[in-house]
C-alpha cells in the first residue's frame, strides 16, 4: 500500500497486477479498498493493473472535514489516476456511491474512461434514505435517490441505526451480520467529525443530460433484491452504450455474487457480452 497526497489529502492506495489499467471505487460508510480486495479485484488483476484506493474519510485515508461531494471525490479520482497512469485511459468500476463517482467522472471526462461498470448505483429512495445524527446516539445513515431524471441521493433525518444498515446492505442470501465495533466507530467518526452529511444533502443529482455524455461502453450490474434495481434500468436507458445485467444479490453485489460479478466485469474489460454470468439482463445496446 502507498499513501498519495491529492488535493491536500493523504489517500491510501493499492496496486495489483499488470496489464491495461483498471480503477475500482468502493461505496460510502461501510466500504474501503478491502471491499474489492477480498471480492472481484483478484480475478481482474491477473490480466490488468488494478488501482484500488480508500475514499477520503474511509479506511486508511485521511479524514478531512470537507470534500465528500461528487465534484471533490471525482477530483480525487482524477488526481490519483494521473499519478498512477498519466494520460493513459482506463476502465472504471464503482459500487454504490462509488458508482456515482464513476458515473460523474465518466460523464465529465469521457476521454479518460475506456470502459465503465456501475454496480448498484442508487437512484430511487430506499429504506435507508433517512440519515440522522440527533437521534440519541443511533447514528442513522444510508443511500437513496432524490430528484427526477437524474442519479442522486435522498437524505433526511431518521431513526435508522447501524444495525439497520447491516441488515439492509448485507448479502441477500445470508442472515444479517453485525458491522463490528471497529467499523461502527469508524462510521460514527466519519459522521461526527466531518461535514459528510451536509455535503451529501447538498449534492445535486447527476442530470440525465450529463449521464448522456458518457461515451464508454457501460455495464450496469444490479442485485435482483436491491432497492435500486429501477435505477439500473433507468441508467441503461440514458447512457448511450449501456447494458443492464441483474444478478442474484442484494445491494452488496460484490459480496453476494462475487463470481458472477467478476465474470461480468472480465467480459466488459475483454469486450465480450458476459451473458453467461448473470441471471438475466435487459436494456441498452450492449458492448460486444
Give, for all 288 residues of the chain, the pLDDT tens digit.
899 999 999 999 999 999 999 999 999 988 999 999 999 999 999 999 999 999 999 999 999 999 999 999 999 999 999 999 999 999 999 999 999 999 999 999 999 999 999 999 986 333 333 444 444 333 433 333 333 345 544 333 233 345 445 444 544 545 555 567 787 888 889 989 999 988 888 888 899 999 999 999 999 999 999 989 999 999 999 999 999 999 999 999 999 999 999 999 999 999 876 654 454 554 433 332
By C-alpha distance, which of 101, 278, 103, 253 is closest to 169?
Answer: 253
Q: Look up the pTM and report it.
A: 0.83
Q: How many CB atoms lie within 10 A of CB 145?
A: 23
Q: Cell digits for 89? A: 485511459
**In this predicted structure, what is the pLDDT of residue 177?**
54
User: For residues 143 and 27, is the Cβ–Cβ distance under 8 A?
Assistant: yes
User: For residues 190 and 133, is the Cβ–Cβ distance under 8 A?
Assistant: no
**In this predicted structure, what is the pLDDT of residue 123?**
67
Overall size of the chain counted in residues: 288
Alpha helices in 49-159 (DSSP H): 70-85, 97-108
User: For residues 206 and 152, is the Cβ–Cβ distance under 8 A?
Assistant: yes
Q: Is 63 left (phi over 0), alpha (psi -120 to 50) or beta?
A: beta
**In this predicted structure, what is the pLDDT of residue 248?**
96
Structural domains in the chain, CATH included, are: 2-122+206-284 (3.40.50.1820)
User: For residues 179 and 165, is the Cβ–Cβ distance under 8 A?
Assistant: yes
| Residue 80 to residue 283: CA distance in whole angstroms | 32
Q: Which helix (H) or strand (E) holds 253?
A: helix 253-256
Q: Cell digits for 213? A: 455524455
Amino acid at each position: 500500500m502507498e499513501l498519495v497526497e491529492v488535493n491536500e489529502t493523504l489517500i491510501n492506495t493499492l496496486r495489483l497486477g499488470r496489464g491495461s489499467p483498471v480503477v475500482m471505487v468502493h461505496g460510502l460508510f461501510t466500504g474501503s479498498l478491502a471491499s474489492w480486495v477480498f471480492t472481484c479485484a483478484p480475478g481482474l488483476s491477473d490480466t490488468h493493473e488494478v488501482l484500488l484506493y480508500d475514499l477520503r474519510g474511509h479506511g486508511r485515508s485521511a479524514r478531512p472535514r470537507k470534500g465528500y461531494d461528487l465534484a471533490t471525490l471525482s477530483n480525487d479520482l482524477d488526481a490519483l489516476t494521473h499519478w498512477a497512469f498519466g494520460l493513459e485511459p482506463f476502465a472504471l468500476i464503482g459500487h454504490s456511491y462509488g458508482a456515482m463517482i464513476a458515473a460523474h467522472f465518466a460523464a465529465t471526462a469521457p476521454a479518460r474512461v475506456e470502459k465503465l461498470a456501475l454496480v448498484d448505483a442508487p437512484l430511487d429512495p430506499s429504506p435507508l434514505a433517512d440519515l440522522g445524527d440527533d437521534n440519541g446516539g443511533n447514528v442513522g445513515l444510508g443511500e437513496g435517490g432524490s430528484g427526477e431524471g437524474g442519479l442522486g441521493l435522498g437524505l433526511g433525518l431518521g431513526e435508522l441505526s447501524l444495525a439497520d444498515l447491516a441488515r439492509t446492505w448485507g448479502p441477500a442470501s445470508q442472515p444479517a451480520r453485525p458491522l463490528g465495533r471497529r467499523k461502527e466507530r469508524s462510521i460514527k467518526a466519519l459522521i461526527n467529525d466531518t461535514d459528510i452529511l451536509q455535503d451529501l444533502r447538498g449534492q445535486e443529482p447527476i442530470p440525465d443530460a450529463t449521464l448522456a455524455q458518457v461515451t464508454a461502453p457501460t455495464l450496469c450490474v444490479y442485485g435482483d433484491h436491491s432497492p435500486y434495481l429501477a435505477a439500473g434500468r433507468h441508467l441503461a436507458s440514458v447512457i448511450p452504450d449501456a447494458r443492464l445485467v441483474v444478478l442474484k444479490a442484494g445491494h452488496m453485489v460484490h459480496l453476494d455474487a462475487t463470481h458472477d460479478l467478476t465474470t461480468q466485469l472480465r467480459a466488459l474489460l475483454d469486450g465480450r457480452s458476459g451473458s453467461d454470468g448473470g441471471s438475466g439482463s435487459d436494456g441498452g445496446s450492449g458492448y460486444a
